[in-house]
Structure 1
Amino acid sequence: MKNIIKQKLLDIQTSYNIKILYACESGSRAWGFASKDSDYDVRFIYVKPLEYYLSLGKKCDVLECELNDTFDINGWDLSKFLYLLAHSNMSAYEWLQSDIIYQKTQIWEEIQDEFLQFFNVSTAIYSYLGIAKTQMSRHIQNKELIKYKKYLYVIRPLIACEYILKYQKPALMNFNNLLESVEISSEVGREIKNLLKFKLESSEKDFKQKSDVLNTFCIEKIDKFNNFLARKKIQKQPYIAKIDDLFLRVLKDERLLV
């Protein structure tokens, strides 16, 4: 499958006249808890020829290339990626943490360590907590039967908050590695491992009985990080000059002529 995806990316480069700087797997496969029928969530960062950015016309900064039962392939222009990175967008940072990489250019390897300068602990926790709270209220609270993957969509961002608070850096993408890096009770750990086993062996659409242990865990963590953020003032950092510098360095690199 990896070779098929790599070929699709080469075809996308030709069809859209772009250069893909970096491409990776996102979603459940990168998180390490794909179901039997999970699709492939392929994400990439690209640039267009320099002349494209010199036009005064409105620019499209997203390419949605394929969406079906097997593949979900889309990408962001480097300008969008850098802007979101500077605002601690968690999707951007997660792509950087993926263990499944389909394509990476030399210029990307040279600049990727510079991305961490934009990371903000409070903003990152705020982002993950918002995901957890939304999923909790929509899919878990006041329900007896729960689509099991929704539990993971609440638990994973809460564990990510714990990791960020402890290590002061972006959370690991692989959920098992993330889980082993933070402290949780043995009872909660067993429930999460049972949940993962159920998900790996089941369909994306399967439901399971609610878990009082996991519900309590989620509520307590949400309260914890609500209280943490209440004591913090999230400040926006003036990163625009640094973003521009990175962006121009890439665009001017002769190795990326398309």
Structure 2
Amino acid sequence: MSVDISIGIDDFDPEAVAEIRSRLASVKQQGIRIGFAIESGSRAWGFPSPDSDYDCRFVYVRPVSDHIGLALHRDVIEFPIVGDIDTGGWDLRKALLLALKGNAVLVEWIKSPIAYEEEPGFRDRLSEVLDEIMVPQKVALHYIGLLRRHWQAHGDGPIKLKKLLYAIRPAIALEWMRTTDFRKLPPMNMMQGLAAVSIDHELRKAIDDLVMVKSQTREMGEGMPPERIRSFLAASIERYVDLAERIEPDQEAESRAHHRADIFYQQEVQRAIG
């Protein structure tokens, strides 16, 4: 049985939460709407450690006046990382354009169970659009890229055990998607995905053990990956190495998706007027 390490905002350091909400308030003071602000990273992925950072991510919509003036605005808002608090957001336009390309980040944020704040109805409206415009096969390519970046880069020697979990997460997501014939998007929480896939007992135990160590240890250090995990990650890369070639482009569907996203973005920008 997989380890279940569930946490909520009530388990967070109150000072960290207050600082994050103060940063969000400073954004809204500029007339910018925050659709939602959630916790991302290992706390939301299901394998936090005692010293995990607070990774607040948010999606925002600028006021109409910012769209009709001559000044160009950045499509991200970033705050300096101070201590263990990391806060940053994407303009809704940037978020939608990346989603159209198959970037899984936005849909993961949508599924985060830990919210600092959110505008009523925004997450539901955005979720509906993402269901229409996101192509699961493209999202799978995103996870393959993450898997290769975190796993192949380390070579054959020791790897930071935290980074090893970062490689396991997309591999589990791919395994979950394979059970749906790549028709659905995986859960954000890796442990939920792990509980829903069929893997051998020794591999499941090795992953559970790694998650348990991370939950109890402030600094995991480096080590050689367990052989069952090493084999699993290598096999995952091999299984999906040619997935991009198996995806048949559908220009008409992509055009419809882009139009749908465009209409949604315009509606959200204009929402504050009505």
- Give the alignment's TM-score, normalised by structure 2: 0.85
The aligned residue for residue 10 of structure 1 is 25
Kindly state the Cα deviation for residue 218 of structure 1 after the two structures are TM-superposed. 0.6
**Distance 1:62-1:204 versus aligned 2 partners, 3 A rule:** farther
What is residue 35 of structure 2 aligned with on the other side?
Answer: 21
Which of residues 183, 204, 208 is equivalent to 1:189?
Answer: 204
2:78 alignment partner AA: E
Distance 1:62 1:7 in 2: 18
Who is 1:105 aligned against?
Answer: 119
Large movers: runs of 4+ above 3 Å: 227-230, 233-236
The CA deviation string for residues 187-216 of structure 1, in whole angstroms up to 9 with x for no partner, is 100000011111111234512333111111
Letter paired with 2:151: M
Cα separation, 2, equivalents of 1:234 and 1:31? 31
After TM superposition, the structure 1 stretch with the greater mean CA deviation from structure 2, 200-209 or 177-186, is 200-209
**Structure 1 unmatched ranges of 5 or more:** none
Match in the other structure for 2:266: 248
Q: Which amino acid aligns with 1:149?
A: K
In structure 2, distance between residues paired with 1:111 and 1:61: 21
Deviation, 1:114, is 2.1
Query: Secondary structure of 1:127's match?
Result: helix
CA deviation map 1:117-173 (0-9, x unaligned): 11212211111011101111222x310x32111111111101101222323222111
Query: Following superposition of structure 1 onto structure 2, how do residues 76-225 of structure 1 map, counting pairs within 5 Å?
Result: 76-112=90-126, 113-139=128-154, 141-143=155-157, 145-167=158-180, 168-204=183-219, 206-225=221-240
Could you tell me how far 1:110 is from its partner in structure 2? 4.7
Letter of the 2:209 counterpart:
N
Q: Which runs of 5+ in 2 are unaligned?
A: 1-12
Is the 8 Å Cα contact of residues 132 and 158 (structure 1) preserved in structure 2? yes
Residue 232 of structure 1 deviates from its aligned partner by 2.8
| Alpha-carbon contact 1:107-1:250 (below 8 Å) kept | no
Cα distance in 1 for partners of 2:76, 2:43 equals 22
Change in Cα spacing, 1:228 to 1:83, as seen in structure 2 (3 Å) is closer
Residues 22 and 44, structure 1, Cα contact 8 Å, conserved in 2? yes
The percentage of aligned residue pairs carrying the same residue is 29
The secondary structure found in structure 1 opposite 2:159 is strand
Residue identity matched to 1:215 = R
TM-score, normalization by structure 1: 0.90
| Paired letter, 1:250 | E
Other-structure match for 1:32? 46
CA distance in 1 between partners of 2:62 and 2:123 (Å): 19
Aligned equivalents of 1:116 and 1:187: distance in 2?
35
Letter matched to residue 233 of structure 1: E
* Counterpart contact for 1:87–1:118, Cα < 8 Å: no
Q: Is the 8 A contact 2:141 2:243 kept in 1?
A: no
Does residue 1:64 correspond to 2:78, yes or no? yes
Aligned pairs, number: 253
Deviations 1:61-108 (A, max 9, x none): 100023122111000111111111222211111111111111121240
Question: Hey, what's the Cα distance between the residues in 2 that align with 1:142 and 1:234?
Answer: 36
